[in-house]
């Protein structure tokens, strides 16, 4: 159950007596990838839904940037999906969120960084053009430039998935969990993915996983 605290919401359901992580998220954002990773690995955590449309002053005491996701750990608060997923992979190696050997770990980070710094930005252009220009007359141009870029990135992902079942081989890992945020955006934005057969097959494989079903139900996803 979620209840409102100032500008954000917190879950009142806390498992057990194990040390808890606190995960800050919003249903419409890229924080879905971290949420799935936490559920897939069974890492105990408390969920806090941040109301990005409301007063964030309370939340900014935790994360000054006011963005999600954020993860409150014993060592401190981490922000940015790539950093959080890397920390989870290193802290809980048994979860196999990323390969343990150096090259595989770095390759996974490169995919996560590409998703957040390139694919995400193209989609952001289509939804939030005001972040790219102060000229309202230029919003349409920004949106029109972002849409084909986002689709071209999905086509690249589709080509990658033609060679393997998941982003880094035969088993899903943090890269796949983060990519589910983009699959969710495709559903939210009404982006047709019928021309991306490998992406579609990958999505179906992912949707069969109970943890992903649970995460999508939590955020009321259209998938």
- Residue whose C-alpha is closest to residue 24's, from 53, 55, 58, 59: 59
pLDDT at 5: 36
- What crossing angle do the helices spanning 197-207 and 139-161 adopt, rounded to 10°? 80
pLDDT at 128: 86
Dihedral over Cα of 12, 220, 34, 212: its sign: positive
Torsion angle in degrees (nearest 10) through CA of 47, 190, 83, 52: -50
- CA dist list (Å): 94 to 88, 98, 196: 10, 10, 33
What are the structure tokens assigned to 194, written together? 């019928």
> Mean pLDDT in each 10-residue stretch from start to end of the chain (223 residues)?
40 48 97 98 95 94 97 96 98 96 98 97 92 91 93 98 97 98 97 97 98 96 96
pLDDT at 19: 63
Cα(90)–Cα(86) distance, integer angstroms = 6
pLDDT at 13: 43
pLDDT at 129: 86
């Amino acid at each position: 159950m979620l209840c409102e605290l100032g500008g954000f919401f917190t879950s009142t359901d806390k498992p057990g007596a194990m040390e808890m992580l606190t995960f800050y998220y919003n249903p419409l954002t890229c924080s879905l990838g971290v949420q799935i990773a936490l559920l897939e690995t069974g890492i105990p955590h408390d969920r806090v839904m941040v109301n990005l449309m409301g007063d964030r002053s309370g939340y900014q005491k935790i994360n000054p940037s006011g963005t999600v996701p954020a993860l409150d750990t014993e060592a401190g608060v981490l922000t940015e999906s790539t950093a959080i997923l890397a920390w989870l992979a290193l802290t809980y190696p048994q979860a196999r969120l990323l390969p343990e050997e150096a090259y595989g770990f770095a390759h996974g980070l490169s995919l996560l960084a590409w998703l957040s710094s390139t694919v995400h930005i193209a989609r952001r252009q289509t939804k939030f053009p005001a972040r790219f220009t102060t000229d309202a007359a230029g919003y349409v141009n920004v949106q029109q430039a972002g849409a084909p870029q986002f689709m071209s990135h999905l086509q690249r992902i589709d080509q990658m998935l033609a060679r393997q079942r998941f982003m880094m081989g035969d088993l899903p890992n943090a890269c796949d969990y983060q990519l589910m945020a983009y699959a969710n955006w495709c559903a939210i934005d009404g982006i047709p993915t019928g021309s991306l057969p490998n992406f579609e097959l990958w999505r179906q494989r992912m949707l069969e996983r109970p943890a992903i079903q649970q995460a999508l139900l939590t955020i009321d996803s259209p998938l």
